[in-house]
Chains A and B, each alone.
Chain A
């Protein structure tokens, strides 16, 4: 495994000798990624249109069994408590059944139709103030009754207001939530389409009012939702193939925190095209700090704000000039303004530094996805030659490690941009920042160097090699795969333990390191 280790790049390989897990050369089938690296073991499920009902049935039945409730009461309760079964149970112990139900608007004291039958056959509805026959009246569980026309009107207004999940009784100050079956029946008789919509809204409460479930943000929308059982701070892959951050619904971005990613993507949107052009063609005005383009003429440039400056040194000047000199041209005179301009420039340069590297890795990540097809071509060539090599797991695994490491590397740049930038300006002293930055950059560089090496090895035309050389390459790639994996984990440890954990004011959490990347959500029986 060692020919590159003896090269002059020992520095980048300091982990290989002692830290590596042993793997069995004879059996490359064994996935030698370190099993314990799979830290956040959250398991997720895909909820499709068809399995939506099945997905909530489990939670519904738990509550129905535990409290011996009817389904619509259990649903009302769960909608109110945002589908958090544990919370419902905790509140049950803490506050008791009565208060739990009252808060959610569940009335289980049954006022049956017998109650209505005892009163006269003609009833005055308190809403429309009309007299109606008893058959035209509907009684809710809370004991309030009004005529069907008024109930229907009330339900339609509430459904259209988007309140399907909590339609309360019409009586003043009555907190009871109306029975969904009665709503369905009355609204269905007037407007079947709206009744269907009502049903859909009720079903989708499981997705929208539930912190464990999120819609897949795919465009065009696949209509699926993802249910997460463990930690909600994780990255998932939907059945449609889209990987996203469960916590902020944007693309996967670990080790960036959600806030950092939000700031970064907004910044990139604002800047990407323009930044390159601006730095190549403009200078910052020393007064208003706007970028100024020199459209022609001499080196005395006058900004739109009226400030003149020297195109050569960027220093502020007066307005008049001769062939040789510009009036008031002295670079030292406007120290303060110059520093401001320098700062604006430094900020931009800093952003470009990080953005450039972020972009380089993202681009490589995209380009390397072709490598898979190319490598498969090489493998089939070797196989066609009746070679002794039967297993090419090392290529697949190497490719996988390459793309995972690229992904992590690219997001580690926006992370560093904010970690060591103004976002945490007050969190650390200049010295602390420098120390931490060095620590982080060491890790990052090691990973980067090994990733580049892995990339070059995988690209080698091994289909043209002799068997001995292929075997040599196989060892190198297997070795580097393990090293990069280890370094990825180290980078995460550095970020989580040494950098983010030491923040005093801000709290930034990141989706934990997953050796295999975003977890693919399991399908559910519908």
Chain B
């Protein structure tokens, strides 16, 4: 939109806003076939700009059996600018930073198209788990291991999946009990677990640091 200024010249007024109507529709679409795809997207809070996605580890890969949480931040220009995604669950993969969870994927950068959706982007992330691209790595250490010592790579990736991506398979009660046994007060354990979305490892980290 454009406004005519006091002195007669025009200057642009742009209030960039996320297209929340579309995000709502995307969430609905996604929940329709969650049984089939296993891909979930849900808002972190009331604010639709922060979401959390989750994808099942592809069958036949070291990630099989794990559930991977992905933090999604929508920029103001969404869907005309790509969503920002990064793994919240630790994952051992050449194209994902083992430190920060940052993902190296073209459609999240210059190949993004407004016609893509959060779900299609998550499907691409899932496909990346099945088909790593070690020549275009995000994590050089992992990529080197992938190329030079594949056996160890598979082992590490599987171990990380077991350790970090399966934790939430425990029931809430069991998790609470486990953490209480470690010596944290029950109230604090419960609230912390809730705050981190039920991930006991994250909760432990938070309890230890705080």
Contacts and interface: CB of A to CB of B under 8 A. Distances in A.
Interface string B112-147: 011110001000000000000000000000000000
Given A128-B19, A157-B77, A190-B1, A170 B12 contact: no
A193 interface: yes
Interface residues of B, number: 20
Contacts of A171: 113, 115
Contacts of A128: 19, 21-22
Contacts of B1: 190-191
Contacts of A93: none
A156 B111 CA distance: 17
Interface in B1-60: 1-2, 10-12, 14, 19, 21-22, 25
Given A127-B79, A190-B1, A154 B12 contact: no
A85 to B, nearest CB: 28
Contacts of B10: 192-193
Nearest to B13: A191
B156 to A, nearest CB: 34
Contacts of A156: 14
Contacts of A129: 21-22, 25
A150 interface: yes
A385 interface: no
A129 B23 CA distance: 10
B21 A193 contact: no
Nearest to A157: B80
A289 interface: no
A173 interface: yes
A126 interface: yes
B81 interface: yes
A193 B3 CA distance: 11
A191 B115 contact: no
A190 B14 CA distance: 10
Contacts of B80: 150, 153-154, 157
B21 A127 contact: no
Contacts of B14: 156, 191
A193 B2 contact: yes
Contact of B12 (A127, A150, A173, A194): A194
Judged by DSSP, the binding face of A is loop
Interface string A171-183: 1111000000000
Nearest to A174: B113
A171 B111 CA distance: 11
A310 B82 CA distance: 68
Contacts of A273: none
B22 A190 contact: no
Given A127-B114, A129-B25, A172-B113, A193 B77 contact: no
A191 B22 contact: no
A130 B24 CA distance: 12
B12 A172 contact: no
Give the residue among A130, A153, A174 with the most B Cβ atoms within 10 A.
Answer: A153
A126 B2 CA distance: 27
Nearest to B1: A190
A174 B81 CA distance: 16
Interface string A126-145: 11111000000000000000
A130 B113 contact: no
Given A129-B25, A157-B80, A192 B2 contact: yes
Nearest to B25: A129
A470 B52 CA distance: 93
Given A128-B21, A173-B111, 9 more contacts: A126-B115, A129-B22, A130-B21, A157-B80, A170-B113, A170-B115, A172-B116, A172-B120, A192-B10
Interface of B: 1-2, 10-12, 14, 19, 21-22, 25, 77, 79-81, 111, 113-116, 120
20 contacts: A126-B115, A127-B115, A128-B21, A129-B21, A129-B22, A154-B80, A156-B14, A170-B113, A170-B114, A171-B113, A171-B115, A172-B116, A172-B120, A173-B111, A174-B113, A190-B2, A191-B2, A191-B12, A192-B10, A194-B12
